[in-house]
Amino acid sequence: MIVITGGAGFIGSALVWGLNAQGRDDLILVDELDEGQKWRNLVPLSYHDYYDKAEFLDLITGGGLPYDIEVCFHMGACSDTTEQDTHYLMENNYKYSQKLAGWCLEEGIRFIYASSAATYGDGNQGYSDSEENLDKLRPLNMYGYSKHLFDLWTKKAGHLDKFVGLKYFNVFGPNEYHKGDMRSMVLKGYHQIRKTGSLQLFKSYRDAYAHGEQQRDFIYIKDVVDLTLRFMDRDDIFGLFNIGTGRPRTWNALARALFSAMKTDPAIEYIEMPDHLRGNYQYFTKADTSKLESVGMGYDYTSLEAAVTEYVRKYLMDSPYLGSG
């Protein structure tokens, strides 16, 4: 059996889709289904059982989980970079992760968890996933800090040679529909263009970057799934790894790819960035993928243009959820 926390969320449900494609449905999903719409991600997918995250924690700490688990993909977290409830983030992203990690250690379960590129902050310390760089990082928001704290705990507790932590960069693709303001610009932009014929991007407030020329390491969800599942098969690999392309692209390039996919002439409007975001904004991200390549996991990433085109034409215009087509 395989456990996937955050199993109804964006990356979690995509992992279920990827495992289903491999013929596996011996999956235990853990999440917190509220009044939102992320349950829709699960409708086309196959799995063995589902647990609420609080119920699951009670079961594993009480020794009552009636399954033999081989690997745990811990994708569950609050991923809202604007969340201000520090107590909630500490309990949900940090404390829960510690308890889950402890259970996996006790039971001999391979533990693969989601970290984040938000841990790198403004990038002044670079984007290396080496352990030596970890203590120097200064996240810009509480979400990134909660993820960073768990990375630090893993290192200080001496578990980096037992766990795998994956620092996901700017992931986009189907099954992110429930994420509200945290949806990718591809999804938000698609609806903007359909409604108004134009796309809004934030202005730049640094002389080194023209409007729309801020850069991100965008990575397609299907590439993320493929890379993540490889760590399940490579049980000789441990530590922190960046999951990004290593090829940053501008917001303008993403916009052009989106207009092209929609077969619409580009029309971009540059708008003021809200004051509360200006001091916490990443102008540049680029995954250092050398560590990933050094363990034989180099990857032929889907280009931004090809990924945006598939997302728009196959999912946004047709069957929205992974597995529903």
pLDDT digits (tens, 9 = 90+) for 211-266: 999 999 999 999 999 999 999 989 999 999 999 999 999 999 999 999 999 999 99
Q: Does 145 map to a domain?
A: yes
Q: What is the pLDDT of residue 132?
A: 92
> What's the CATH code of the domain at 237?
3.40.50.720
Catalytic annotation, residues: 143, 179
**Rounded mean pLDDT, 89-103:** 92
Q: Does 254 map to a domain?
A: no
Q: Does 49 map to a domain?
A: yes
Q: Does 44 have pLDDT greater than 90?
A: yes
> Taking Cα atoms as reference points, which of 9, 16, 3 lies closest to residue 37?
9
Q: What is the pLDDT of residue 297?
A: 94
User: What are the Cα distances from residue 258, in Å, to 267, 283, 307?
Assistant: 11, 20, 10
- Start-end of H helices in the chain: 10-21, 53-61, 86-89, 96-107, 142-156, 185-196, 221-233, 251-261, 275-278, 290-294, 304-310
Q: Does 158 map to a domain?
A: yes
Q: Does 187 map to a domain?
A: no
Q: Does 311 map to a domain?
A: no
Q: What is the pLDDT of residue 68?
A: 94
Name the pLDDT band for 83 (thresholds 50, 70, 90): confident
**Rounded mean pLDDT, 162-191:** 96
Average predicted confidence (pLDDT) for the chain: 95
Domain count, the chain: 1
Estimate the crossing angle of helix 251-261 against helix 185-196, to 10 degrees: 50
Q: Which residue segment(s) compose the domain that 133 sits in?
A: 2-171+217-246+283-301
Q: Does 181 map to a domain?
A: no
Q: Which tokens is 138 given?
A: 């200064």
Q: What is the pLDDT of residue 88?
A: 84
Q: Which tokens is 317 given?
A: 């215009």
What secondary structure letter does DSSP report for 157?
A: T
The model's pTM is 0.95
Q: Does 143 have pLDDT greater than 80?
A: yes
Q: What is the pLDDT of residue 36?
A: 84
**Can you tell me the distance from the alpha carbon of 46 to that of 88, in angstroms, rounded to the nearest whole number?**
31
| 103-122 as b/e: b if 16+ CB within 10 A | bbeeeebbbbbbbbbbbbbe
Q: Does 92 map to a domain?
A: yes
Q: Does 82 have pLDDT greater than 80?
A: no
Q: Does 136 have pLDDT greater than 90?
A: yes
Q: Which residues, other chains included, contact 21 with Cβ-Cβ below 8 Å and sequence gap of 6+?
A: none
**Can you tell me the distance from the alpha carbon of 16 to that of 105, in angstroms, rounded to the nearest whole number?**
23
